[in-house]
């Protein structure tokens, strides 16, 4: 893989991330709306990974850096707190669910026991 191809893939990825972090005029960009976009952002990074070949930690750092940069530009303390304290464990949990290391299904007997 040439470095030029990786550089182009990285630029395209950053453009896609910025696009996902662009909210429509008048659209609320609070934590609840941002939270919906986190899986989309993760998916965008994962799709480009066939070229970039980043380990999981690097992908997470890329996502967190993009979110932190974006929240600083919003000058919103609530968003800054959310991205700094809530998003990192949220990413870890979504990865666990995606890799089937964590299941959210409730066992059928639980419903019958209540």
The domain ranges of the chain are 3-113
Tokens of 56: 């999981």
Residue 22 has pLDDT above 80, yes or no: yes
Residue 110 region, left (φ>0) first, then alpha (ψ -120 to 50), else beta?
alpha
Instruction: Write down the pTM of the prediction.
Output: 0.83
Tokens of 52: 């970039």
pLDDT digits (tens, 9 = 90+) for 54-92: 999 999 999 999 999 999 988 889 999 999 999 999 999
- List phi, psi (to 5°) of 28: -70, 130
**Separation CA 30–CA 8 (nearest Å):** 31
Residue 113: which pLDDT band, with cuts at 50, 70 and 90? low
């Amino acid at each position: 893989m040439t470095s030029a191809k990786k550089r182009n893939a990285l630029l395209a990825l950053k453009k896609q991330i910025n696009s996902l972090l662009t909210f429509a005029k008048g659209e609320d960009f609070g934590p609840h709306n941002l939270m919906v976009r986190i899986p989309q952002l993760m998916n965008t990074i994962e799709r480009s990974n066939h070229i970039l070949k980043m380990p999981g930690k690097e992908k997470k750092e890329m996502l967190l850096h993009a979110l932190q940069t974006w929240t600083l530009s919003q000058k919103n303390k609530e968003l800054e707190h959310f991205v700094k304290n809530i998003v990192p464990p949220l990413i870890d949990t979504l990865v666990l669910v995606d890799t089937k290391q964590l299941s959210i299904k409730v066992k059928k007997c639980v419903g019958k026991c209540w």
